[in-house]
Amino acid sequence: MKETETLETKQTSAGTTERISGSEAVVKCLIAEGVDILYGYPGGAIMPVYDALFKYQDQIHHVLTRHEQGAAHAAQGFARISGRVGVAMATSGPGATNLITGIADAQIDSTPVVCITGQVFSHLLGSDAFQETDIVGISTPVTKWSHQVTKASEIPEVMAKAFYIAKSGRPGPVLIDITKDAQVSELDFKYEKCTGVRSYIPVPKTNPESVKAAADLINAAKKPMIVWGQGVILGKAEAELKAVIEKAGIPAAWTIMGASAIPTSHPLNIGMVGMHGNYAPNVLTNQCDVLIAIGMRFDDRVTGDLKTYAKQAKVIHFEIDPAEIDKNVKTDVAVLGDSKTSLTALLPLLNENSHEAWLEEFKKLYAIEFEKVIKDDIHPTKEGLTMGEVLKEINKQSEGNAAIVSDVGQHQMIACRYSEFNKTKSNITSGGLGTMGFALPAAMGAKMAAPDRDVVAIIGDGGFQMNIQELGTIFQTKIPVKIVVLNNEFLGMVRQWQQLFFDKRYASTEMINPDFITIAKGYHLKTKKVTKREELADAVKDMMASDSAYFLEVCVEKEDNVFPMIPAGASVSDIRLS
Amino acid sequence: MNEEIKTFTISIYTENNIGLLNRISAIFQRRHINIESLTTSQSEIEGVNRFVIVVNITESQAKKIIGQIEKQVEAIKAYYHTDEDIIFTESCMFKIKSDLLFEEPQIQNIIKDSDTRIVTVNKEFFVLEKSGRRHEIEALHKALSTFGIMQFVRSGRIAVTKEEMKITEMLLAFNNQ
């Protein structure tokens, strides 16, 4: 076994050997990988590792969440804001299965996370033992890699491989399941980082001919348009993207996962594509002559009806994952490789250009969207508060420097549409899976990974109650995260669909909520509740100035809708303004 | 533009690790594609396994499936082929009452004409084995079924390609990096 594994992987840096337990080896592997914070919840089958963590608590800080799902999302938030690998730990059985939603979320949003689960003794595997569950089997379709360790001697190599796979290429979650006997037995420990797995090509080579073909198409284009995604952020290619759009003068739009890679205020940043994106980039997707997709995967929420998506355009796709090429949209030129490498190769081949008349068309449509949607969202004249004006106030007082962690629903779309970003990695949200309950724990992880940044969680009253228990973690750990609950007493997005597509039959979307302020006070958080417009600015000011965790509830208009909107299955150019 | 559904033989070279079968079958299951047959065995390279999977899908589905399979960390390389690209065969076994071998002389002719091998004969039963194309096995089954078959089993398809597969070179390239 050992011999074949060594054939399959490459490792570096030899160290001296010491005789330690498997559980201590797990902790030493984490420290060797630079992990100083992890999130988790103890239980029977993982107790030896927790015992080892106790010994190393001066080097590695374990954050006790109140639910394993909270640990998984916290690890995601940690990874998303820092680009480092987030780590979550849980016991076997229910502890492990509670991680699954976070793992699935990390898989679809390409987030580097390593999850470690305890497992029953190997002689009990398959016997339906207490808290036994086939977590490797359950997690298989939602992990980049998963592996069960049954011998202590396997731990260093498997852990090294886990971190390498999670963070290399297109990142993703890895689950390592360790039986209790592997934790308690001893091994000769020596840690070597993994530098390659022979069956795995993390980054395909960028073909210079494809780059040239892309440059030729772009140089000849009259109406080029860029849509970038998270691949730009994961590939640390923000500066390269900016250089490309500025040199070639190309209007550039973003998916929600790509938000913040280029500052919101950049004159060539034309806003968000997709179901609740901006009017201009959606409509003009079907008028551009060359569509340049960079590190994005043509998700159905971005494309709407594929049969009517950008059919007039030549499509160029810059992408790290070969399986994404032609998956949803047929490309004319595919440029494989990581975004930094491919955009660096592209830049010198581009002609300096500007597309003033074409850019003007975006501005014209923006003016229409402003008049029909944005004005009433951010400068409302009606009595009730809007979600948009809350975001506007947060932008103003944070000067666009806060990281916004949003949950899922109407407030998420508003947060993505109206947040102003100066810095990359500032928009942390559950894009692909749409996991309600994501934001509160993800914001904890984000704040701990970036303590110098203001982290503001924007959450609806529905999603807040899906992981509300994490207020306990915030209280115990004193994570100074800013929590904004936009309370419309509805599951707002579902209610919006019921209004538009189900004749206002509001089946199970009205929420009779508890007093959130009393709950937050129970956790000894600073709190404020806003019900009137004139209270908003001071409340946000108080929150932004706070050095400790802060809970702000804003009671917003109950039945507001998010527009623009591409109805499900409609074409991007059939986007509705009302 | 409805693409034609065809039979594709998918060949996958993989590491020999627990759980990979689950990972690969999940790719088909998730897309609601029925696996017609699946065979795994060692390949020409020591320590490397080979899957041969037969599915009825469109070519664009086949391309996407290959992408998803190759994306798996422990899959080394995957290919899809039409029947024209490969040499392929299946194998089958019949268990039949021994009395019939003597009572029905026609069975002996069937065995001879179809190039079927007798694996064993004892007092109670005899066992036949045949490799070949599906239609040959079906024809044999039809011919023998009139006499009564105690047990019948057919394997999945195994196949080799007419074109070379450069797996060894890929693995050498990794080792020399």
- Give pLDDT tens digits for A112-153: 999 999 999 999 999 999 999 999 999 999 999 999 999 999
Cβ distance A321 to B71 less than 8 Å, yes or no, reads: yes
Output the CA–CA distances (angstroms, integers) from residue A508 to A466, A498, A511, in the order listed: 16, 10, 8
Query: Is residue A63, in this structure, part of any structural domain at all?
Result: yes
pLDDT of residue A10 exceeding 80, the answer is no
Q: Tell me phi and psi for residue B65, to 5 degrees.
A: -60, -45
Using the Cα atoms of residue A82, residue A144, residue A439 and residue A388 in order, give the sign of their dihedral. Answer: positive
Tell me: do A112 and A25 sit in the same domain: yes
Query: Is residue A401, in this structure, part of any structural domain at all?
Result: yes
How many residues comprise chain A?
A: 578
Q: What is the pLDDT of residue A18?
A: 93
Q: Tell me phi and psi for residue B108, to 5 degrees.
A: -60, -40
Q: What is the pLDDT of residue B165?
A: 84
Q: Which residues of A are catalytic?
A: 68, 130-131, 180, 493
The superfamily (CATH) of domain B89-154 is: ACT-like. Chain A, domain 2 (3.30.70.1150)
Tell me: do A494 and A546 sit in the same domain: yes
- The domain in which residue A240 lies consists of 208-362
Nearest CA in chain B to A330: B60
**What CA–CA distance (Å, rounded) separates A233 from A527?**
34
**What CA–CA distance (Å, rounded) separates A126 from B116?**
42
For residue A510, give every residue at least 6 positions away whose Cβ sits within 8 Å of its Cβ, in sequence order, or none.
A489, A490, A495
Tell me: do A528 and A413 sit in the same domain: yes
Query: Is residue A336, in this structure, part of any structural domain at all?
Result: yes
The crossing angle, in degrees rounded to 10, of helices A100-108 and A68-82 is: 30
Q: Which site among B73, B80, B174, B175 would you substitute to test the A interface, given the most A Cβ atoms closer than 10 Å to its Cβ? A: B73
Cβ distance B175 to A321 less than 8 Å, yes or no, reads: no
Look up residue A320 and give its two tokens.
Answer: 């790290």
Output the CA–CA distances (angstroms, integers) from residue B104 to A45, B62, B109, B147, B152, in the order listed: 65, 47, 10, 8, 19
pLDDT of residue A6 exceeding 60, the answer is no
Cβ distance B73 to A197 less than 8 Å, yes or no, reads: yes
DSSP for A151-184?
SGGGHHHHHHHHHHHHHSSS--EEEEEEEHHHHH
Q: Is B166 exposed, middle or buried, given 0-12, 13-18 or 19+ CB atoms closer than 10 A?
A: exposed
Nearest-neighbour CA in chain A from B166: distance (Å): 14
Q: Which DSSP category does A557 fall into?
A: -
* Cβ count within 10 A of residue A69: 28
Q: pLDDT, tens digit, for every residue of A300-355?
A: 999 999 999 999 999 999 999 999 999 999 999 999 999 999 999 999 999 999 99
Q: What is the pLDDT of residue B170?
A: 79
Our separate counts of H helices and E strands in chain B read: 6, 9
| Residue at token pair 């580097």 | A112
Tell me: do A345 and A431 sit in the same domain: no
CATH code (residue A83): 3.40.50.970
Q: Are B128 and B93 in contact (CB under 8 A)?
A: yes
**What CA–CA distance (Å, rounded) separates B100 from B35?**
36
For residue A563, give every residue at least 6 positions away whose Cβ sits within 8 Å of its Cβ, in sequence order, or none.
A276, A372, A373, A576, A577, A578
| Mean pLDDT value across residues A197-224 | 97
Q: Are A320 and A338 in contact (CB under 8 A)?
A: yes
For residue A488, give every residue at least 6 positions away whose Cβ sits within 8 Å of its Cβ, in sequence order, or none.
A387, A410, A460, A461, A555, A556, A557, A558, A559, A560
Cβ distance A322 to B70 less than 8 Å, yes or no, reads: yes
Nearest-neighbour CA in chain A from B27: distance (Å): 8
**What CA–CA distance (Å, rounded) separates A404 from A400?**
10
Q: Is A549 exposed, middle or buried, given 0-12, 13-18 or 19+ CB atoms closer than 10 A?
A: buried
| Mean pLDDT value across residues A537-559 | 98
pLDDT of residue A7 exceeding 90, the answer is no
Look up residue A142 and give its two tokens.
Answer: 């939602």
Q: Are A422 and A269 in contact (CB under 8 A)?
A: no
Please give the share of chain A, as a percent, with pLDDT higher than 70: 98
* A321 contacts on B by Cβ (under 8 Å): 71
Please give the share of chain A, as a percent, with pLDDT higher than 90: 97
Q: Are A161 and A85 in contact (CB under 8 A)?
A: no
**What CA–CA distance (Å, rounded) separates A404 from A442?**
10
For residue A368, give every residue at least 6 positions away whose Cβ sits within 8 Å of its Cβ, in sequence order, or none.
A279, A577
SS3 A258: coil
Query: Which of B26, B47, B171 shows the shortest C-beta gap to A141?
Result: B26
What does pLDDT average to over chain A? 97
Query: Is residue A81, in this structure, part of any structural domain at all?
Result: yes
SS3 A334: strand
* Cβ count within 10 A of residue A534: 7
Q: pLDDT, tens digit, for every residue of B14-31?
A: 999 889 999 999 999 999
Q: What is the pLDDT of residue A5?
A: 46
What does the domain layout of chain B look like in residue ranges?
6-81, 89-154
Q: How confident is the model at residue B1 (pLDDT cuts 50, 70, 90)?
A: low
The sheet carrying A61-64 orders its strands as: A61-64, A37-40, A86-90, A113-119, A173-179, A145-149
Give ∠ CA A461-A463-A469 in degrees, rounded to 5: 95
CATH code (residue A251): 3.40.50.1220
**What CA–CA distance (Å, rounded) separates A240 from A350?**
13
Tell me: do A537 and A392 sit in the same domain: yes
pLDDT of residue A204 exceeding 80, the answer is yes
Nearest CA in chain A to B47: A4
| Mean pLDDT value across residues A362-370 | 98
* A154 contacts on B by Cβ (under 8 Å): none
Q: How confident is the model at residue A80 (pLDDT cuts 50, 70, 90)?
A: very high
**What CA–CA distance (Å, rounded) separates A575 from A567?**
7
Do B6-81 and B89-154 fold alike per CATH?
A: yes
**What CA–CA distance (Å, rounded) separates A451 from A445?**
10
CB < 8 Å from B in window 153-172 of A: 165
**What CA–CA distance (Å, rounded) separates A240 from A492?**
38
Tell me: do A222 and A192 sit in the same domain: no
Query: Is residue A498, in this structure, part of any structural domain at all?
Result: yes
Q: Which DSSP category does A146 fall into?
A: E
Tell me the CATH number of domain B6-81, given options 1.10.3660.10, 3.30.70.260, 3.30.300.30, 3.40.50.720.
Answer: 3.30.70.260
Instruction: Count structural domains, chain A.
Output: 3
Q: pLDDT, tens digit, for every residue of A12-66?
A: 655 678 999 999 999 999 999 999 999 999 999 999 999 999 999 999 999 999 9
**What CA–CA distance (Å, rounded) separates B157 from B133?**
9
Nearest CA in chain A to B75: A199
Q: Are A577 and A564 in contact (CB under 8 A)?
A: yes
Q: Which DSSP category does A370 fall into?
A: I
The β-bridge partners of A551 are A483, A527
Q: What is the pLDDT of residue B70?
A: 96
Nearest-neighbour CA in chain A from B8: distance (Å): 19
* ipTM exceeds 0.85: yes
**What CA–CA distance (Å, rounded) separates B43 from B166?**
13
Where would I find the H helices in A424-515? 439-449, 461-464, 471-477, 492-501
| Residue at token pair 């902790």 | A27
pLDDT of residue B171 exceeding 90, the answer is no
Query: Is residue A367, in this structure, part of any structural domain at all?
Result: no
SS3 B88: strand
Q: Tell me phi and psi for residue A509, to 5 degrees.
A: -120, -10
**What CA–CA distance (Å, rounded) separates B98 from A95?**
58
Q: What is the pLDDT of residue A286?
A: 98
Nearest CA in chain B to A200: B73
**What CA–CA distance (Å, rounded) separates B80 from B102?**
46
Nearest-neighbour CA in chain A from B46: distance (Å): 10
Give ∠ CA B151-B153-B158 in degrees, rounded to 5: 165
Query: Is residue A168, in this structure, part of any structural domain at all?
Result: yes
**What CA–CA distance (Å, rounded) separates A311 from A163?**
41
Q: How confident is the model at residue A2 (pLDDT cuts 50, 70, 90)?
A: very low
pLDDT of residue A533 exceeding 50, the answer is yes
pLDDT of residue B2 exceeding 70, the answer is no
Instruction: Give the domain-ending residue among A178, A197, A216.
Output: A197
Look up residue A77 and give its two tokens.
Answer: 């938030």
* A7 contacts on B by Cβ (under 8 Å): 47
pLDDT of residue A547 exceeding 90, the answer is yes
Q: Prior bond to A564 cis, omega within 30?
A: yes
For residue B162, give every residue at least 6 positions away whose Cβ sits within 8 Å of its Cβ, in sequence order, or none.
B85, B86, B87
Where would I find the H helices in chain B? 20-30, 59-71, 98-103, 105-113, 134-145, 167-176
Q: What is the pLDDT of residue B175?
A: 76
**What CA–CA distance (Å, rounded) separates B93 from A106?**
48
Q: Which DSSP category does B10 fall into?
A: E
Query: Is residue A376, in this structure, part of any structural domain at all?
Result: no
Using the Cα atoms of residue A232, residue A235, residue A236 and residue A240 in order, give the sign of their dihedral. Answer: negative
Look up residue A546 and give its two tokens.
Answer: 């706070």
